[in-house]
């Protein structure tokens, strides 16, 4: 009854994109066909980058003279991997913590909510901005690995409270259901309940969460890049031809990751819109694919729930009928329980 | 007494959460090749921040914020927010009513069209509007749409349209979904059976019942609006409230100013939340009475 056609197609498209991007060193030019000046046969400069999209440059070039389609192919792996890792980490950490909150420490839940109340009222882009400025705001001598780790920590942290609270709410709901209650009455431990009853539910929810979090991560990396906070930090070389009075260069993304490409070039927009439109449209396509997957998963879950609810209604009516006819039984049970 | 204690604990937690979140960069320091964790530094800074917050009588308190053009820029940003919010609500209502009254086939097509906008990233919308304004200017040579906020100018029209484009579809999608669900309610069937017209049922009965849900949803709309305004003000170089906020961060303003700014920024959200709480309380109260 459940269909996963779109999910399979979408995820395989993304996988292919990722693979193609990972294999870039085997087929793509190392310098992205860098060409800043076009000279005629006498050596006079007749044109300079950025070049608009044409037969020679499919998507145009950047101001550095690098061809955009190679750049995009090279950079997409960082975007996708980051989005996926952040989303997965958020869901895994949030899932564990949320279940812990709802099963072992329900009293902590309201305190947890209060502690992270700020996150509810301040748009996450602002928080991410404040948190990332000290590390990524300017070029520094720190190793890339630690910058990336820091950024991942921040990105995971931003989404962590909401996922945790959501998981806690869901497992609270599940805990009230009759099947969990009855196994609790029969003496099942909490670990057992998690293993047998919550995890099977959480698996389908978890996938949906992950997809949702991928979406939000994509959005936030894109927004952060506008403020010059690129994934993987800044490139020392900067963008060609942009130096302010003190010789400082306009920041450029080190990884050539899509969000970074948007962020480093958005000021070019009035002159060379293609430099910005190419990565933004790329983002749009990826988001469209992810959204398609999300929708199908949601539909599946909802359909599942409707079926469940119908089943439940029947069960309830059956129960009430039984209940009225077996009053004696209840008495006996009560006496036993009191003893 | 117990309630008071609880309230105090909550307040303390909110404050400590705030301090924790905004001092997080200090805990996770970056070393040459690894992530370092220093709790000591973090603790010291948190303590000094807290002390700073408590010195209300000091003349320097919020001194930084007084230098900036807070009142004017805040007014500007809030004007944009409120105008876009009101226009979003009005347009979404009208369009939703029209879509609900349109024939089935068209309705489905329109609905899927609206769902499509769910996936559009906000930056794409901002860039498209920018592109549109620039091409308009190039084609006609007339500068009737102000885009950038250079020389202290504060454009209204383009930012409002840009900012409210996506939230409009968000609200519209929600409205359609809610109204469609409401159509299966018994009272709607009853009214239909009584021979009341579709328009009248929709306008008089259903909108009234859907209204609380809309208020609850407006929180999300404001949230999206706020982050969009932030982006637009940065990208179009407009001297709005978020600019002041940035100045505070970049020039190392004090912690109290940061808190004050963030509080002012999240004020509309809190107002909306309060309104939602009041309304849901009223509804629940009614239900209790009716039971």
Complex ipTM value: 0.81
Per-residue confidence (pLDDT) for residue A239, from 0 to 100: 59
The confidence score (pLDDT) of residue B208 equals 83
Q: Which residues of B touch A115 (CB under 8 A)?
A: 13-14, 16-17, 20
Predicted TM-score (pTM) of this structure: 0.82
pLDDT of residue A146: 77
pLDDT at A333: 40
Contact A254, A232 (CB under 8 A): yes
Q: For residue B181, is pLDDT > 80?
A: yes
Percent of chain A with pLDDT over 70: 81
Higher pLDDT, B26 or A141: B26
Nearest-by-Cβ selection for B10 from A114, A266, A276: A114
- Optimal mutation site among B7, B9, B19, B30, interface A, most CBs of chain A within 10 A: B30
Q: Which residues of B touch A125 (CB under 8 A)?
A: 227, 230-231
Q: How far is B269 from chain A (nearest CA, A)?
A: 7
**Paired tokens of A60:** 């145009």
Right CATH number for B73-290 from 3.40.50.150, 1.10.3720.10, 1.20.1050.40, 3.40.50.720?
A: 1.10.3720.10
Look at residue A116 and tell me whether its pLDDT is greater than 90: no
Domain assignment present for A185: yes
Are A223 and B134 in contact (CB < 8 Å)? no
Domain count, chain A: 1
pLDDT of residue A94: 92
- In this prediction, residue A88 has a pLDDT band, given cuts at 50, 70 and 90, of very high
Which residues of chain A does B169 touch, with a Cβ-Cβ cutoff of 8 Å?
Answer: none
**Which of B23, B123, B132 should be substituted to probe chain A, the one whose Cβ sees the most A Cβ atoms within 10 Å?**
B123
Nearest to A305 by CA among A182, A177, A132: A177
Q: What Å distances lie between residue A203 and A14, A110, A321, B144, CA to CA? A: 21, 26, 35, 54
What pLDDT is recorded for position B287? Answer: 55
- In terms of average pLDDT, the best of B47-56, B90-99, B143-152 is B90-99
- Measure in Å the smallest separation between the Cα of B196 and chain A Cα atoms: 31
| Cβ-based contacts of B21 with chain A (< 8 Å) | 116, 118-119, 127, 131
Among A124-138, A140-154, A236-250, the least confident range:
A236-250
CATH number of the domain where residue A300 is located: 1.10.3720.10
Query: Domain for residue A6, yes or no?
Result: no
Q: What would the 3-class secondary structure string for chain B be?
A: CHHHHHHHHHHHHHHHHHHHHHCHHHHEEECCCCEEECHHHHHHHHHHHHHHHHCCCCCCCCHHHHHCCHHHHHHHHHHHHHHHHHHHHHHHHHHHHHHHHCCHHHHHHHHHHHHHHHHCCHHHHHHHHHHHHHHHHHHHCCCCCCCCCHHHCCCCHHHHHHHHHHHHHHHHHHHHHHHHHHCCCHHHHHHHHCCCCHHHHHHHHHHHHHHHHHHHHHHHHHHHHHHHHHHHHHHCCCCCHHHHHHHHHHCCCCHHHHHHHHHHHHHHHHHHHHHHHHHHHHHHHHHHHHC
In a domain, A34, yes or no: no
Chain mean pLDDT for chain A: 78
B239 Cα to chain A: minimum distance (Å): 16
Angstroms from B113 CA to nearest CA on chain A: 13
- Using a CB-CB distance cutoff of 8 angstroms, which residues of chain A are in contact with residue B118? 291
Q: How many angstroms separate the CA of residue A16 from the nearest CA in chain B? A: 21
Residue A70 domain-assigned (yes or no):
no
Is A48 a domain residue?
Answer: no
Mutation target among B7, B10, B17, B262 for the A interface, most CBs of A within 10 A: B17
Longest dimension (CA), chain B: 77
Residue-range definition of the domain harbouring residue A273:
77-313
pLDDT at A194 over 90: no
- pLDDT greater than 50 at residue B268: yes
- In the stretch 104-123 of chain A, residues with CB closer than 8 A to chain B read 111, 114-119, 121-123
Q: Is B252 in CB contact (< 8 Å) with chain A? A: no
User: Would you say residue B224 has pLDDT above 80?
Assistant: yes
pLDDT at A317 over 50: no
Contacts of residue B18 in chain A, CB cutoff 8 Å?
118
**Nearest-CA residue of chain A relative to B138?**
A270
Q: Which segment of A213-217, A246-250, B123-127, B195-199 scores lowest on mean pLDDT?
A: A246-250
Kindly list the domain boundaries of chain B, sorted by start residue: 2-53, 73-290
Residue B290 is predicted with a pLDDT of 44
Chain A residues touching B120 at Cβ < 8 A:
284, 287
**Closest by CA position to A314, among listed A175, A180, A178:** A178
Among the partner residues B16, B131, B262, nearest to A115 by beta-carbon distance: B16
Let me know if residue A247 belongs to a domain: yes
């Amino acid at each position: 009854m459940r269909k996963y056609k779109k999910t399979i197609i979408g995820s395989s498209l993304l996988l292919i994109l990722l693979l193609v991007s990972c294999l870039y060193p085997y087929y793509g030019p190392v310098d992205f066909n860098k060409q800043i000046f076009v000279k005629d046969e006498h050596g006079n400069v007749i044109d300079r980058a950025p070049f608009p999209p044409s037969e020679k440059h499919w998507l145009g070039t950047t101001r550095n003279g690098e061809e955009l389609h190679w750049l995009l192919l090279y950079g997409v792996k960082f975007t996708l991997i980051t989005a996926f890792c952040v989303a997965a980490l958020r869901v895994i950490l949030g899932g564990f913590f949320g279940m812990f909150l709802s099963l072992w420490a329900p009293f902590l839940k309201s305190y947890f909510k209060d502690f992270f109340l700020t996150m509810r009222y301040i748009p996450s882009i602002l928080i991410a901005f404040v948190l990332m400025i000290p590390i990524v705001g300017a070029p520094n001598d720190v190793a890339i690995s630690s910058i990336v780790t820091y950024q991942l920590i921040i990105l995971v942290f931003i989404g962590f409270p909401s996922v945790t609270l959501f998981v806690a709410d869901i497992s609270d709901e599940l805990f009230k259901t009759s099947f969990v209650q009855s196994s609790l009455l029969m003496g099942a431990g909490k670990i057992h309940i998690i293993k047998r009853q919550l995890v099977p539910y959480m698996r389908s929810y978890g996938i949906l969460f992950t997809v949702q979090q991928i979406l939000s991560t994509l959005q936030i990396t894109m927004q952060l890049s506008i403020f010059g906070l690129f994934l993987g930090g800044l490139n020392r070389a900067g963008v060609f031809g942009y130096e302010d009075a003190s010789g400082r260069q306009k920041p450029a993304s080190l990884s050539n990751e899509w969000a970074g490409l948007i962020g480093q070039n958005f000021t070019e927009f009035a002159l060379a819109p293609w430099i910005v439109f190419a990565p933004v449209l790329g983002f749009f396509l990826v988001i469209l694919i992810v959204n398609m997957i999300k929708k199908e998963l949601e539909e599946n879950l909802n359909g599942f729930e409707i079926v469940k609810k119908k089943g439940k209604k029947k069960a309830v009516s059956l129960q009430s009928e039984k209940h009225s006819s077996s009053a004696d039984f209840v008495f006996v049970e009560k006496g036993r329980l009191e003893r | 007494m117990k309630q008071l204690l609880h309230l105090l604990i909550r307040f303390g937690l909110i404050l400590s959460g705030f301090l924790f979140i905004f001092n997080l960069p200090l805990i996770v320091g970056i070393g040459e090749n690894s992530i370092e964790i220093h709790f000591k530094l973090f603790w010291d800074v948190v303590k000094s921040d807290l002390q700073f917050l408590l010195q209300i009588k000091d003349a320097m308190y919020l001194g930084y914020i007084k230098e900036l053009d807070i009142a004017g820029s805040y007014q500007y940003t809030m004007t944009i927010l409120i105008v876009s919010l009101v226009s979003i609500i009005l347009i979404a209502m009208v369009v939703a009513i029209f879509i609900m009254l349109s024939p089935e086939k068209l309705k489905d097509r329109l609905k899927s069209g609206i769902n499509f906008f769910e996936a559009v990233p906000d930056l794409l919308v901002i860039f498209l509007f920018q592109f549109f304004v620039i091409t308009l200017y190039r084609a006609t040579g007339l500068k009737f749409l102000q885009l950038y906020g250079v020389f202290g100018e504060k454009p209204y029209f383009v930012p409002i349209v840009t900012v409210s484009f996506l939230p409009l579809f968000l609200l519209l999608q929600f409205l359609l979904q809610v109204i469609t669900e409401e159509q299966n309610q018994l009272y709607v069937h009853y009214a239909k059976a009584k021979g009341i017209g579709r328009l009248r049922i929709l306008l008089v009965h259903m909108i009234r019942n859907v209204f609380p849900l809309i208020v609850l949803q407006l929180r999300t709309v404001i949230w999206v609006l706020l982050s969009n305004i932030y982006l637009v003000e940065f990208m179009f170089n407009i001297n709005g409230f978020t600019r002041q906020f940035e100045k505070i961060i970049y020039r190392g303003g004090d912690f109290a100013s940061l808190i004050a700014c963030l509080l002012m920024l999240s004020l509309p959200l809190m107002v909306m939340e309060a309104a939602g709480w009041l309304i849901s309380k009223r509804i629940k109260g009614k239900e209790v009475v009716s039971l």
